[in-house]
Amino acid sequence: MLDLRLYMVQRLSALVMVPLVLGHIAVMIYAIQGGLSTGEILSRTQGSLGWGLFYGLFVLAVSIHAAIGLRVIVFETFGLRGAALSLLMWATGLGLLYLGARAVLAVTLA
């Protein structure tokens, strides 16, 4: 039953990620074609609640999606099971969430 729930959560995180990835790519193409430098892009995102929420949700969805995906890969490749597999999944998810949240906060609050 846990596997089915994780499967569904991963699929839901993918549904959240699709428009965020497309939005991110569209913004990057617009910024590059407009000739914006990294500094100019960062200056536009600083203090923006909207961009902070956009990328915060992106980080959350990616952290969940990647942790569950890594869990499946490790199980199928190495046969790791039980508590060790769950610990790896949680450590990966929380680690990605922590690093991503730090990056989002550094850019939006700076």
CB 68 within 8 A of CB 89: yes
User: What are the helix (H) ranges across 1-110?
Assistant: 2-33, 38-45, 49-78, 82-109
CATH of 2-109, one of 2.40.50, 1.20.1300, 3.40.50, 1.10.260: 1.20.1300
pTM of the model: 0.90
Please give the C-alpha separations between residue 39 and each of 32, 35, 42, 107, in angstroms, as whole numbers: 12, 11, 5, 11
Give the span between the Cα atoms of 76 and 99, in whole angstroms.
Answer: 27
- Per-residue pLDDT for the chain (110 aa), expressed as one digit of tens each? 778 999 999 999 999 999 999 999 998 898 888 788 888 888 888 888 999 999 999 999 999 999 999 999 999 999 999 999 999 999 999 999 999 999 999 888 86
Give the span between the Cα atoms of 30 and 101, in whole angstroms.
Answer: 24
